[in-house]
Amino acid sequence: MTQGTGTVDVAPRTGGAPSGAAGAVGAGPGPQQLRRNDTWRVSLRRHWRLYTFVILPVLFLLVFRYVPMIGNVIAFRRYRPGGSMFGDEWVGFYYFQMFIQSKPFWDVFWNTVILGGLTLLVCFPLPIILALLLNELRSRTFKRVVQTITYLPHFMSIVIVAGMVFQLTAINGSVNQLIEAFGGEAIPFMQRADWFRPIYLTSEVWQTVGWGTILYLAALTTIDDQLYEAARIDGANRWQQTWHITLPGIRPTMMVLLILNIGTFMAVGFEKVLLLYNPLTYDTADVLSTYLYRVGIGEGGNYSFAAAIGLFEALIGVALVVTANQISKRAVGASLW
């Protein structure tokens, strides 16, 4: 504005924000806007080469894990081999009622529970104990030798393991020769139902315990050495250090593996049981998976009945996993999800 001339000079408005704000906008999008723009589509465009590695695993899961789930529909339909997968007649829960009222089913069900419970009770803590013992070894050479010896059985075929079991427990096998050397009588181990569970459990421990230590040994390397040093300064012995530092340090790994083992609680090893058992040991050896094999594929050919039992077993596994996960989350704060 100019005084004395009667005129008013007004600077023209340029519109928009002040110069400082305009400069800020002109400088480019801010961090928040960049984060909003970084959607999964942008990420896929930028890193498509990495995402290609996911294609084969996803296809594998779809083809061999999820698509076969459609076949569970035959548990509710009367399926005849050679006919449509969706069956000729809808029967609802007929096959579920059939196996619930069947005595052989409950015999193999409780065999599965007992054998799975023994396997979980013995085979879960032993890798932890072995990992703790290996962690205490000071000789690296001896530690590697022990690890190699305990890992090797995992790489053996189950057929080879079953053959070794038969050779060792035969009437003239090494075990009976040792029994006779001490004045005892030879025992037909594989023809007696009361010996099947100890034999199966022993072979399972021998084959799996060494391999199970790998994850625990890896978890032990993540524990800070300064914690042990502070505990030694406070006068803690090795047992106290293990109880108060080592075990809490690997507790998340222990809980995750426990949840996974509980999820496979009902899926007792089909191949090994099938190779080891015989009609003389059905009373204690026959489990759900082998019973399904005989009823659905072997002797009976009743696919719908076998599918109903398999679906029942799968639902139990899902319920066990969810329950164990919730208990673990509330008790120790470690869970799968």
**Do 231 and 202 belong to one domain?**
yes
The pLDDT assigned to 31 comes to: 53
Residue ranges making up the domain that contains 65: 29-92
Least confident of 33-42, 282-291, 324-333: 33-42
4 belongs to a structural domain = no
**Do 282 and 134 belong to one domain?**
yes
**Do 86 and 97 belong to one domain?**
no
325 belongs to a structural domain = yes
**Do 52 and 159 belong to one domain?**
no
1 belongs to a structural domain = no
Per-residue pLDDT tens over the stretch 96-153: 998 888 888 899 999 999 999 999 999 999 999 999 999 888 888 998 999 899 989 9
**Do 235 and 123 belong to one domain?**
yes
The pLDDT assigned to 7 comes to: 41
Nearest 10 degrees: CA dihedral of 102, 106, 111, 113? 140
Per-residue pLDDT tens over the stretch 24-47: 444 445 455 445 546 777 877 888
Tokens of 39: 């959607």
48 belongs to a structural domain = yes
Find the CATH number of the domain harbouring 123: 1.10.3720.10
Question: What is the residue-averaged pLDDT of the chain?
Answer: 83
**Do 178 and 245 belong to one domain?**
yes
Q: Confidence class of residue 266 from pLDDT cuts 50, 70 and 90?
A: confident
Higher pLDDT, 15 or 328: 328
Mean pLDDT of 46-53: 86
Contact call for residues 266 and 112 (beta carbons, < 8 A): yes
Confidence check: pLDDT of 194 > 60: yes
Q: Confidence class of residue 304 from pLDDT cuts 50, 70 and 90?
A: confident
**Do 174 and 260 belong to one domain?**
yes
**Do 130 and 76 belong to one domain?**
no
**Do 170 and 241 belong to one domain?**
yes
**Do 156 and 167 belong to one domain?**
yes
Domain count, the chain: 2
